[in-house]
Amino acid sequence: MPARTNVDGVEDVPGFQRLDTSRLARDVWRAPSATLPDIATASFGPPPSPAESAMGPDDRVRIADTTAYPWRAHASLLITAADGALYYGTGWFIGPHTLATAGHVVCIKNSGVPGRDGWVRSIRVMPGRDGETLPYGFATSTVFRSTEAWTKTGDRNYDYGAIILPTDLGNVTGWLGFAVFPDADLLAGTGEISGYPADKPPGTQWYGSREISSVSPTKVYYKIDTMGGQSGSAVYRAMEGTRYGVAVHAYGGATANSGTRITQPVYDNLQAWCD
């Protein structure tokens, strides 16, 4: 699907709030995001956590129409941990029934709470959510994927995973591509992130873009503003009308935020999880 971009090569996002009176019945969605903790707090502790960081002036823009592509391919997540605790996060479609996200979204590590660590119980996926409005309804998953390096040892270099849906909801929303890029290509490009940060009105989607600062064999670093709730967001590039995920957002930092880089092994896993 064609990408609408501005002269800087990043998404052209209207900076106003969509006036939409359609509402999902309140008996379907009752848990207000503002009262729920970011899933990162389970594995990494309370804020300031590795998934919360604003870099200088906040230039994030609220998505005005979450039913437009690519915004509808991003999903707000309501996560139920093994002990029933509720958290929130972000995921993005990479196929008809598969979303990519952070490893700590699907498998909690080092929470310190008895019965909470390990694979989460379920995740409610709400594509294109806009506050109380769920334009595509929701799907609930109990099937997840991640790497043994994350699930067994909590190695942050392998903090990525996937949510497998029981439906092909991605055929309705569309999805983002993902690709392996060499260092030089990543450093020459602009990173883009859209997700569901906790410091904004509950359930609203926000977008930001800035240069990619540096890369390592397993990480991509950037100064795009992110906050709690965006764990699992796509770090992507728009190129020639196609969007390619290059990393999965997972951590914040004092000088840069970072995501798990899509290397060849990561690509192979994501592709296998799609299949």
Residue 177 dihedral angles phi and psi, to the nearest 5°: -80, 180
Q: Which of 62, 160, 175, 61 is closest to 127 using CA atoms?
A: 175
**Residues for the chain: how many in total?**
275
Is position 146 annotated as part of the catalytic site? Answer: no
Which H or E run contains 217?
none
Catalytic site includes residue 258: no
* Among 43, 53, 97, 104, the one annotated catalytic: 104
Pick the catalytic residue from 53, 111, 231, 258: 231
Nearest CA to 156 out of 104, 105, 197 is that of 104
**Edge-to-edge order in the sheet of strand 98-101:** 139-141, 122-127, 74-80, 86-95, 98-101, 161-164, 143-146
How many angstroms separate the Cα of 257 from the Cα of each of 135, 197, 206, 262? 30, 14, 16, 16
- Residues annotated as catalytic are 104, 231
